[in-house]
Amino acid sequence: MPHPIRPVVTAYIALGANLGDAAQALVAAMAALGSLPATQVIRRSSLYRSAPLDASGPDYLNAVVQITTGLCAPDLLAHLQALEQAAGRQRHLNAPRNAPRTLDLDLLLYGSARIASPHLTLPHPRMYQRAFVLLPLAEIAPGLVSAAQLHAVAPQRIALESPGLLGTDRGIELAHLTWQQAQAHLNADTVVLIALGAATKEHGPHLPLNTDWLQAEFYKDRILEQSPVLAVPTLAYHYFPAFVDYPGSVSLSLETARDLVLGICQSLARHGARRFYVVNIGVSTNRPLQAAAAALALQGVLLRYTDLTQAGPVKASIAQEQASGSHADVVETSAMLHIAPGVVNMALAVHDGQQDRGPGGLSRDPQGSGVYSPSGVYGDATRATAEKGAALVAELLASMLAEIAALRSCALPLSQAP
């Protein structure tokens, strides 16, 4: 098959089937998409049941997935057609356009690309005429579909077939359950997900105070879509002493931050939970999390957390674009351009924090200790791009999912409680 290329691009693919076990065909296709070279499935819609358009035959099952990929558009199309063929799809020269099929994979959007060739047209020329494309697309990317476009396809027969992700790989939010339902999920096999991201911490002049919280929410949602975790509400306050010199930044003491996580885990462990994973969008947070993990281990409970000081190859490569930095820099700003581009003001992005005066956090004081940064940026935010962000996010999400999978199979520590 063709070789993957860079940069990473966000793309959307419509899936449909109305022959054989259509639901299983879509589940298998979603898994296969995630196995393509340099490709990561980011979001998957619910299943929808729709009537065939301008054709006869059984109802279709439909869905849309969002991916990031390093494949160029023609190579991605070639892979999609290979997956169709592997699923038993037969293409006949004179067959009707909407004939029944075992699997149909349509490339809807590939970044902002506009292509008109004999073999590929982007955006897909008929996507806005089809309810079975627009409804699942609006579910996972509401900003790409307008109310007028949905109204135009309203007469087409379509119904929600399967809310949420198919199968058992969808996570659950604890806050949505009753206590009786929660009891059924709190056991030693369940991984409880705790997303942690500051809701009020400075991120320079170009990013909002809730930058970490937005990232934590993003990763929590992606993990819920792909892993059967039990997620608690996102923690908005923790230990961030390096930023208190900047108005609006809030930090708990190390002991309070430790006890916050400890208390959550102990409350749920009382009813059977034994495995906890913290989506940790912070670095100073490592210390209280490590202390909480040590205390919980003595009680027979496992706590693991994301360690942002450990860089994968994508992050390491992008970080080398700046002499130093680790906050509101090229890495974090790029990630935000992918996660929430509407909150990023690149016109105010700066390169700052190059004067390191020894131990301490970031400081606005030119005579103080630590890293002097009048802007609150530590690194070069001006080099950030959404393409870099897509690659960074895909790498970190894959690492989190792998760590959660490993946690699920880890042996529990022996309780030393009396």
Q: Which residues are catalytic?
A: 89, 101, 104, 106
- Structural contact between residues 169 and 226, judged by C-beta atoms closer than 8 angstroms: yes
Preceding peptide of 123 cis, ω within 30°: yes
Give the span between the Cα atoms of 405 and 305, in whole angstroms: 13
Beta strands in 271-396 (DSSP E): 275-280, 302-305, 351-352, 355-356, 362-363, 371-372, 379-380
Residue 328 token pair: 């509101």
Give the span between the Cα atoms of 321 and 331, in whole angstroms: 10
φ/ψ of residue 104, rounded to 5: -130, 125
Closest-CA residue to 24 (of 162, 226, 229): 162
The count of C-alpha atoms lying within 13 angstroms of the C-alpha of 44, restricted to the half-sphere facing its C-beta, is 28
- Structural contact between residues 346 and 397, judged by C-beta atoms closer than 8 angstroms: no
Give the span between the Cα atoms of 33 and 26, in whole angstroms: 10
Give the span between the Cα atoms of 301 and 413, in whole angstroms: 7
φ/ψ of residue 201, rounded to 5: -150, 130
